[in-house]
Amino acid sequence: MTEQNAQPQPLKTIADPACGTGGFFLAVYDCISDPQSFILNKEQKLFLKNSTYYGNEIVAAARRLALMNMFLHNIGDIDAETFILPTDSLVADTGLRVDYVLTNPPFGKKSSMTFTNEEGEQEKDDLTYNRQDFWATTSNKQLNFVQHIRTMLKTTGKASVVVPDNVLFEGGAGEIVRKKLLETTDLHTIL
């Protein structure tokens, strides 16, 4: 394994701040539990089952499917606290620091919130996250996720993130985030 490899290892924590139905979690489970990759001892098996994963999913149906997928793969306990929260992961830094972040955040230029106005009609409004730990304030979802992911990582943490073409090469906030990533992280590849 090379230094830049983001292959998850036993006894390491993994987060997906927009986990959908849990696809990355299931892929990690399959990789780590495969006897051709690792021979796990009892402690490693328990950690893989109960302490490896941390996720958020704000779409209720997708979150239910993620929890069901995890349970069907013997990850977590039906009576235990869930590790996939229904909250918006971008709202604040929870203090969680993980070894790996693997994610494919939702595509779309802007974050928005739907609300009912005084006339009882539904309206959408751009949602901007104003966090002290972000380099740039923007309503661009992908840039906000990239900034949040950097916050979630331990100092030795690694991330693999799928974002749309050119997100980090746009002017304004995209340029700020790209420059800060290059200055403050060991950025391996932008594809």
Domain coordinates in residue numbering, the chain: 14-184
So what's the pLDDT on residue 17? 97
Domain 14-184 has CATH 3.40.50.150: yes
Segment 13-38 shows an average pLDDT of 95
> Packing angle between helix 23-33 and helix 42-50, nearest 10 degrees?
180
- CA–CA distance, 31 with 34 (Å, rounded to integer): 5
So what's the pLDDT on residue 18? 96
Q: Which position has the token pair 């304004």?
A: 172
Task: State yes or no: pLDDT of 23 exceeds 90.
Answer: yes
Q: Give the DSSP letter of residue 15.
A: E
Mean pLDDT of the chain: 86
- Give CA angle at 131 (126, 134), nearest 5°: 100
Q: Both ends of the chain: CA-CA distance in Å?
A: 20
Task: Please count the other Cβ atoms lying within 10 Å of the Cβ belonging to residue 140.
Answer: 22
**Nearest CA-CA partner of 56 in 30, 83, 85, 76:** 85
So what's the pLDDT on residue 1? 33
- CA–CA distance, 50 with 11 (Å, rounded to integer): 11
So what's the pLDDT on residue 7? 81
Band (pLDDT 50/70/90 cuts) for residue 115 is very low
Please give the helix or strand (H or E) that residue 144 lies within, else none. helix 141-152
Task: State yes or no: pLDDT of 123 exceeds 80.
Answer: no
Range of weakest confidence among 23-37, 146-160, 161-175: 161-175
Query: Do 173 and 140 touch, CB atoms closer than 8 A?
Result: yes
Segment 155-166 shows an average pLDDT of 89
Q: Tell how far CA 79 is from the center of its chain.
A: 24
So what's the pLDDT on residue 187? 85
So what's the pLDDT on residue 71? 93
Segment 171-182 shows an average pLDDT of 90
Beta strands in the chain (DSSP E): 14-16, 53-56, 84-85, 98-103, 112-116, 122-126, 153-161
Q: Give the DSSP letter of residue 167.
A: G
- CA–CA distance, 23 with 162 (Å, rounded to integer): 13
Q: Give the DSSP letter of residue 5.
A: -
Task: Give per-residue pLDDT as tens, 55-103.
Answer: 999 999 999 999 999 999 999 987 778 899 999 999 999 999 999 999 9
Query: Do 93 and 87 touch, CB atoms closer than 8 A?
Result: no
